[in-house]
Amino acid sequence: AEIAQTEGVTGRKFVRYWLHCAHLLVDGQKMSKSLGNFYTLPDLLEKGYTGREIRYALMRVHYRAPLNFTWEGMNEAYRAPLNFTWEGMNEARESLVRIDDWLVRLRETAAGKIDKRKTDMQPGQEFEEALDDDLNISAALGFLFETIRETNRALDRNELDAASANAWLNWWERVNSVLVLEEEIAPLPPGIAKLAEARAQARLAKDWRKSDELRDELSVRGWEARDTKDGQKVTRRAGG
């Protein structure tokens, strides 16, 4: 029906591939308005999660597998049917932070002198092979994070040169064209930006008490200040 309706209105072919996905469950029941367990994306966004965090949490489940959404913090995020819990959402956020930090390191390394003999490197075929296997997203993401671990180790040992870093960045562009997971930088609201800058200055001055007070103030307003080796990062606090 969806294909007939859409093509009748637009006069164009709707999609090339049509997947019949397993049901989204809520507390073990099929989500429906009649059962009163119907949730929308704004419900999740109001909890402080970003669109890409929700996207990642949803896409990591194979399309044939049921996904069970619960509001309670159950510790069964990887049992079948999979549970879409706040723990799972927080893990999604942590996974995306790992990707962001990895990309920063690769881009810093890629800015160095490139050995022209290595510019034809084409790493990461396993990712494409996994998706070719009935969209095996678990295997594809597993390879992505194994790649992050291994390249980070090489970076720690100064064993990854600029050409290799560029090759992995080119590979990431192909991956991100499918997953669309790279962080989109949005400006902070003026009041939050002012608090964040004041906290950054307090840390530079080693005024730890002031820094903690400003971090707490950001938290009260629904934001989280996280200190990394690349400086302070301020994001919406999830689950609030």
Which helix (H) or strand (E) covers residue 25, if one does?
strand 24-26
Q: Tell me the C-alpha distance between 127 and 175, whole Å.
A: 8
Domain positions in the chain = 1-87, 92-179, 190-236
- pLDDT, position 75: 31
Residue-by-residue pLDDT tens, the chain, 240 positions:
678 888 889 988 888 777 777 777 777 787 777 887 777 888 878 877 778 888 888 888 888 888 777 655 333 333 334 455 656 677 788 888 899 899 999 999 998 776 655 556 678 899 999 999 999 999 999 999 999 999 999 999 999 999 999 999 999 999 999 998 887 666 888 899 999 999 999 999 999 999 999 999 998 988 888 887 768 888 777 554
User: Residue 82's closest CA among 94, 65, 96?
Assistant: 65
What is the CATH number assigned to the segment(s) 92-179?
1.20.120
Q: What are phi and psi of 36, to 5 degrees?
A: 70, 20
Structure tokens at 64: 């044939």
Would you call 67 exposed, middle or buried from its count of C-beta atoms within 10 A (0-12, 13-18, 19+)?
A: buried
- Prediction pTM value: 0.68
Buried-exposed string 71-102: b where 16+ CB fall within 10 A, e elsewhere: eeeeeebeeebbbbbbbbbbbbbebbeebebb
Query: Could you report the per-residue pLDDT of 220-230, keeping only the tens digit for each?
Result: 988 888 887 76
Q: Tell me the C-alpha distance between 99 and 3, whole Å.
A: 36
Segments in 13-133 forming alpha helices (H): 41-45, 51-59, 86-110, 125-132
Question: Which residues 6+ apart lie within 8 Å of 224 measured at CB?
Answer: 218, 234, 235, 236, 237, 238
Helix (H, G, I), strand (E, B) or coil at 161: coil
